Structure 1
């Protein structure tokens, strides 16, 4: 098993992994593709086993208004046939040791029981726009004391639901 930065060659394999890891949603795959297409700064790694991408992790910028205030961990995925084997944990520990990550304030919207094992703690400020009451929003090295809504890259905005077709109004007689 080898962990490396995402390359042009592994990028397409990472998309395929995201699709397998989140089979009922295109959100994660579309998100990462749009982040790449729009040239957003990202720190991302893949875990490769026998030439296959079996895990992926990415960090994108977090904002307080227009100012950078840290990084968001999202998304993170492990191929279904490799889950529950510690691969995701190993990839996350690896990422947390990297120069670009190890001193940054980090935010994650995820399962508290999982992420607390790595040093993330429940976060009351800033406020996550995607989580009611910050119930699943955690941070690491967060020294924020003032309340604000943390910003994400615009690609994170949930995909718009297509508008309903207009129907003719019937008049009641």
Structure 2
């Protein structure tokens, strides 16, 4: 297993990984593809095993108005066959040691029980526009004391929308 920066040659493998890790959703793959198409500054790494991308992690800019105030961790994914084997944890630990990541405030919208293991803490400020009451919004190295809604790259809104729940169709 090898961790490396994402290369252009591996982008299609990452999109496929995101589709398999988030079944029924095009949102995550669409988000990353839009980042690439629009040339957004994203810090990305993949975990490679037998020439297959088995895990992916990305960090994009977080904003206070027009000013960058840190990085958002999103998305992070592990291939279904490699989940619950520590691959995602190893990739996250690796990313957190990288120079461009370890000095920045970090934000993540995710499962608190998982991310607290990596020193992320629940955060009340800034406000996450995607999480009522910031119940699943965590941060690291966040010293924010002012009230603001944290901004995301516009691709978070323009990526393919998450699918609506499937119900019975009426004829």
Q: TM-score, normalised by structure 2?
A: 0.92
**Count of aligned positions:** 161
Pick 1 or 2: higher relative contact order, CA cutoff 8 A, min separation 6. Answer: 2
Matched residues in 1 for 2:19 and 2:161: separation? 19
Alignment of 1:139 onto 2:139: yes
The residue number in structure 2 matching 1:90 is 90
Alignment of 1:45 onto 2:49: no
Matched residues in 2 for 1:70 and 1:96: separation? 13
**SS of match in other structure, 2:81:** helix
RMSD: 1.1
Structure 1 residue 24, shift from structure 2 partner: 1.3
Structure 1 residue 10, shift from structure 2 partner: 1.0
1:15-65 C-alpha deviation (Å, 9 max, x unpaired): 110011011100000000001100110000000000000000000000000
Structure 1 residue 157, shift from structure 2 partner: 1.4
1:132-170 C-alpha deviation (Å, 9 max, x unpaired): 000000000000001100000001016469xxxxxxxxx
Structure 2, gaps ≥5 residues long: 163-171
The residue number in structure 2 matching 1:11 is 11
Matched residues in 2 for 1:123 and 1:59: separation? 18
Matches within 5 A, 1:65-80: 65-80=65-80
Q: TM-score, normalised by structure 1?
A: 0.91
C-alpha contact 2:27 2:161 (8 A) present in aligned 1:
no
Alignment of 1:30 onto 2:30: yes
Q: Which consecutive segments of 4 or more residues in structure 1 shift more than 3 A?
A: 158-161
Matched residues in 1 for 2:38 and 2:116: separation? 32
**SS of match in other structure, 1:88:** helix
**SS of match in other structure, 1:77:** strand
